[in-house]
Amino acid sequence: MFNLSPSGPRQLRIVGLAASALLVLGVATAPPSSAAEPAAAATTVDTIPGVDEISSSPNLRQIANVPKVGPFNTEAALNSDLAFSGNYAFAGNYDGFVVFDIKNPRAPKVVSQVLCTGAQNDITVHGDLLFLSTDSSRSDDSCASTSQTAANPASWEGIKIFDIKDKKNPRYIKSVETKCGSHTHTLVPSKDKKTVYLYVSSYSPNASFPDCQPPHDLISIVKVPVKKPTDAAVVATPVLFPEGGNPGGNGSSSTTGCHDITVFAEKDLAAGACMGDGVLFDIKNREAPRVISSVRDTTNFSFWHSATFNNEGTKVVFTDELGGGGAPTCNPTIGATRGADGVYDITGRGDARTLVFRSYFKIPRTNTDFENCVSHNGSLIPVLGRDIMVQAWYQGGISVWDFTNSAQPKEIAYWERGPVSDSRSVTGGSWSAYYYNGYIYSNDIQKGLDVLDLNDWRTWTAKLHSYKEFNPQTQPEYWSW
């Protein structure tokens, strides 16, 4: 399935400070290692919570929930990804998107809803622009389109662009058709700030689809002039897997494109989760990303879904969406190494950089056979001296875990809501869980927007950060030295 810059994070630059000064700030003078005091794991519960019952560690609590409202309040209208700008959160839904006012995180308010069906409506924002992915073959590019077979040459899939200057009345201004549609897209800032690029990920080609022909070993790159977004167009379709990528088999997926890409613009790096392959890219030339390392895990990984860097750009966490996000994989039968995260170190320099596997991480709680649960979307928490991220696990809830020691990741907090149903399988749970300006925001597929407060000594330095814009797959450099 599924710096003190006005547009960037507040950065702490520490140059030549004495160790005593660092201690006054409350900052460890050396990052934790295997020899340091280990981070205590979150308490594991043996009892599975009941329907809609809340279970959590003491350091993570829910402070707000905004349920889905019409026309998105049906079981079929699945909530999807999140993006943030100033005091607003933008939440994708298979039927469109919602704009929330989050100036008061304890009382978010719906500002507007835009009905625009076209799964899965992956979402990003930049200034007054909002970008939406359509990965559902439609009769045309309008928001009033209907489902239509991709075998019809007139069918449309791709990127929709909205003007969101007026948050109460977003305006649809432009569409860009892309090969095989747009399952997800990643916003990539240009170096001159006059342009943004969208790296469009899509897959599942078919010889009977005129606009989605095999082998489709590529991504589409859309160039958007910031001051004239109606000139947005595809400028490149680089082939990433000239040798065909992973052919599949033994439980691993064949590679026919990418599912999701995370970019680390300050370091000219990107990490691609590409179905059967995990990939590291050099993106110094935004229109010509180059593969510099790739890895496969045919033993435990089924579907490479998403990626997250640590702040130094020396590690990548890849997720495995075993079962496509619709299966119950958080149980003893599946085990701890399938449907999990893979932690990889980046070793070497330049084009000699290599992804090296270190460990798996999976939530330690068992879910029912009616709960879809597997690793999904998350983001780094901007903590100084440690590598800590928050992550959605569908009906497995939300996990905060520390991978400072790549070989021994540990959960330090969790929050989950009991199953949607105890008698039938319902697609639900947290699709995305991200840290933004002091709080964790989660888009629950069925239950709406959740806001959580993390209160833990290991993460207090994250509170020093404030952002004016955050697209989780456009990863900023949180701390600069």
Give the tens place of pLDDT for each residue, 261-311: 999 999 999 999 999 999 999 999 999 999 999 999 999 999 999 999 999
Give domain status of residue 352, yes or no.
yes
pTM: 0.91
Residue 30 confidence (pLDDT) above 70 = no
| pLDDT of amino acid 1 | 53
Give domain status of residue 22, yes or no.
no
Average pLDDT, the chain: 91
| pLDDT of amino acid 16 | 29
Give domain status of residue 296, yes or no.
yes
- Distance of alpha carbon 341 from alpha carbon 89, whole angstroms: 26
Give domain status of residue 438, yes or no.
yes
Convert the pLDDT of each residue in 70-82 to its tens digit: 999 999 999 999 9
Give me the CATH number covering residue 151. Answer: 2.130.10.10
Q: Which residues contact 371 (CB under 8 A, 6 or more apart)?
A: 328, 330, 394, 395, 396, 419, 420, 425, 428, 429
Give domain status of residue 177, yes or no.
yes
| pLDDT of amino acid 379 | 98
Convert the pLDDT of each residue in 45-89 to its tens digit: 568 999 999 999 999 999 999 999 999 999 999 999 999 999 999
| pLDDT of amino acid 91 | 98
Give domain status of residue 40, yes or no.
no
- Distance of alpha carbon 214 from alpha carbon 212, whole angstroms: 7
| pLDDT of amino acid 50 | 97
The structural domain count of the chain equals 1
* % of the chain at pLDDT higher than 90: 89
Give domain status of residue 43, yes or no.
no
Residue 129 confidence (pLDDT) above 80 = yes
| pLDDT of amino acid 36 | 33
| pLDDT of amino acid 45 | 55
Give the confidence band of 42 by pLDDT, cuts at 50, 70, 90: low
SS3 content of the chain, % helix, strand, coil (to 5): 5, 40, 55
State which residues form the domain around 423: 53-475
Give domain status of residue 480, yes or no.
no
